[in-house]
A and B are shown apart, each in its own frame.
Chain A
Amino acid sequence: MLKQMEGSVAVAEAVALARPEVICAYPITPQTHIVEGLGELVKAGKLQNCEYINVESEFAALSVGIGSSSAGARTYTATASQGILYMAEAVYNASGMGLPIVMTVGNRAIGAPINIWNDQTDSMSMRDAGWIQLFCETNQEAVDVHIQAFKIAETLNVPVMVCMDGFILTHAYERIDMPEQAQVDQFLPPFNPRQVLDPAHPVSMGAMVGPEAFTEVRYLAHHRQLQALEVIPKIAAEYNAIVGRDNGGLISTYQTEDAETLIISLGSVIGTIKDVIDDRRAGGEKIGCVAIRSFRPFPIAAIREACSKAKRVVVLEKCFAVGLGGMVASNVRMALATQPLPVYNVIAGLGGRPITQKSLHKLFDQAAADSLEGLHFLDLNHEIIERELERERLEGCSGAVAENILRGIGAVAASKV
């Protein structure tokens, strides 16, 4: 059914359609409206057979989820930014224990400095924790992917993080075609785990595994993620067959068939990129884009194939590994290691800085001319940087960079009382 609604509320409705049995989340901007929405559905009796638990921290939230999932209940939680770090120990624990928990990450920057706006550093911080990570371009995709996430998780016994840009998607009102309960029931059977905490069949879960078996356990986890490369598209097709939308799978491509310049990115910025591509195509440029939907497992073969005829690739990402460069670009470069084409790495949108069509046009002009540096920061304020670097060179300093910049521009002054 077509509705005009806020992204968070749409996600709450979609999760409710998946018939979760235990929901446990701790509030953090920008995910709050999702958990509030679900809490209200449970309290009003609209979401039945579901326990909604208010906890005292994100660490507790995912830990409660670990307990409920181990005991056979379909489990959901949501977090962002600082919260995903606070639960980091539990994130690794959930995947290590093979629990099919679904978690929304309302992508937000990580401090210090504290920042409530969108970037994808939070999901990226957990990219190697053994979870499947799926990224959504629109709120419609978010609705469809959340429902698919439960099936992917329960098929593979791997937890799944569904990543959506905070504020940009979570707080945006847009048109959503919400599936019907009957469709979701047809698509998603009840959770039926192979191993569960049950007095009728006692098992011990979570034993200490020593050097003699630990490597094998990790290898098998890797193998599962590789299996996911098959399972994710398969489940997307199953969903499409019932609901009639192809919103899933490993990547999506736009105007890539004869593209000489390929932009690779994740999440909502793909929409803005598509508009810019249309403009440039109208001017005759052969340009297209690839949206990475499954970041983990990383779709090496699909990326390689999509880029096989391109002359250059621009990886535009909303995250950054300080001291190295782009996280996504590193993964893309690994996939394209055998292909001799330039891969430009553009860091954009950190801490919620808007990515404008104007800036993208300028960027793509530079890319087409192959005049981009290997690592390029979109819309970087060079004046502030140069001034601060000069000051550091003369004075040296320690402490928080953000506050130091203020010193540089004279914004810090002691008031004499």
Chain B
Amino acid sequence: MTQLIDKKIGADSASGNQQVKFYQTGTYTVGNRLLDENQRTVQASLDRSNALDSGHRACQGCGEAIGARYAIDAVMRATGNQMIACNATGCLEVFTTPYPETAWQMPWIHSLFGNAAAVATGVAAAMKVKGKKAVRVIAQGGDGGTTDIGFGCLSGMFDRNDDVLYICYNNQAYMNTGVQRSSATPPGARTATTMPVGPEPGNVFGQGKNVPLIAMAHGIDYVATASVHDLHDLERKVTKAMTFRGSRYIEIFVPCPLGWGSKPCDTIKLARMAAECGLWPMLEAEYGELTASYKMRKPAPVTGYLKLQRRFAHLFKPGQEERLAGMQALADKNIAKFQLLEKGEQA
């Protein structure tokens, strides 16, 4: 369906008013440049800081590289380039800083695997004591460094309500060391330590940690989950997070083609499918209370999402029907719990 839209090109245009035909009106797909400036993404701007510059060594299709670039550029814009990042050990740290090179264009420190949150606390304290109120601090790490080994320091940071935004790039396993299970690995998934063998192949059901909910339980200023398939939403959440002055936590879903056994070109698609079937709820919360969630018109069945990843291939073998149904049940539970359906819709 087309709709003719009048668009004034500009005062110095020779042709004056011009009628422009657009298809797919009402969406963002016509391109940022025709949107109002305040609706455009950071990524669309020539002025974007490109804080995570090209030349890093990430794999083809790495979701984390995309997510980190989106997130950090958004923080840079929100802070006028006044930020410091504290990174945990992991893929992001390894592929961005192959000594003597670095892909980071802003101040960045990597200390240890489990202490990114504590290091960030220290940097924030230094900024405070030196009166540098405008300089903001973020901590970042993968799911391993956040939900497992870094959990103590993360909780401590939340307890103190330190002025730090912690960003977790969740690809659901320890990827840099060879795809081992973390407490963020979903049930059923294959990893090197949850092999698809035996009567219950892949990761067990009934385990795992939901760190966004745990962050909410700490009552911190702002918690959100985001994903690389929705750039606008991610940037909005990061920008919003930077308006708070206490502890904030954002978890970004970042598919890993190598670890998931998916095609590098499917990264964005998989992220969208995870959100659209309910396995990756997109939430926002403030001071422990849920404030918003991504509403679907009609959730897709999980199978479409799972089928595109070799890490779930064994669930489609005979005898695994119950476990496959268990995955659907998880998605249904999320949809109900976080009210992921648009009002009036039914699953």
Contacts and interface: CB of A to CB of B under 8 A. Distances in A.
Direct contact of A and B (CB under 8 A): yes
A225 interface: no
B122 A205 contact: no
A16 to B, nearest CB: 14
A415 to B, nearest CB: 39
A198 interface: yes
Interface of A: 21-22, 24, 49-51, 53-57, 59-60, 63-73, 75, 89-90, 93, 97, 197-199, 201-210, 213
Contacts of A24: 122, 125
Contacts of B82: 199
Nearest to A54: B160
A93 B111 contact: yes
Interface string B109-142: 1111011001111111111111000010000000
Contacts of A70: 109, 119, 122-123
Contact of A63 (B104, B118, B155): B118
A49 B153 contact: no
Given A56-B152, A89-B112, A93-B112, A207 B126 contact: no
A209 B100 CA distance: 8
Contacts of A73: 122, 125-126, 129-130
Residue of A89, A207, A213 ringed by the most chain B CB atoms within 10 A: A207
Given A24-B122, A53-B125, A63-B122, A71 B84 contact: yes
Contacts of B97: 204, 206-208
Contacts of B114: 59, 89
B105 A63 contact: no
B299 to A, nearest CB: 39
B159 interface: yes
Contacts of B111: 63, 66-67, 90, 93, 97, 206
B56 to A, nearest CB: 12
B122 A67 contact: yes
B130 A63 contact: no
Contacts of A206: 87, 93, 97, 109-111
Chain B contact-residue range equals 35 or more
A22 B122 contact: yes
Given A64-B121, A203-B107, A59 B115 contact: yes
Contacts of A75: 122
Contacts of A51: 125-126, 128-129
27 contacts: A21-B130, A22-B125, A51-B129, A55-B121, A56-B153, A64-B118, A64-B125, A67-B109, A67-B123, A67-B126, A70-B109, A70-B123, A71-B126, A199-B135, A202-B108, A204-B104, A204-B107, A204-B109, A204-B110, A206-B97, A207-B99, A207-B102, A208-B97, A208-B98, A208-B99, A209-B99, A213-B100
B228 interface: no
Contacts of A49: 129
A97 B120 CA distance: 16
A21 B126 contact: yes
Interface string B71-106: 000000000011110110000011011111010111
A3 to B, nearest CB: 28
B118 A198 contact: no
Interface string B298-342: 000000000000000000000000000000000000000000000
Contact of A60 (B105, B110, B115, B126): B115
Nearest to B115: A63
B156 interface: yes
B123 A71 contact: yes
Contacts of B107: 197-199, 201-204
A34 to B, nearest CB: 19
Residue of A56, A57, A204, A207 ringed by the most chain B CB atoms within 10 A: A204
Given A65-B122, A90-B111, A199-B83, A207 B98 contact: yes
A104 B102 CA distance: 35
B225 to A, nearest CB: 25
Nearest to A68: B122
Contact of B156 (A55, A71, A201): A55
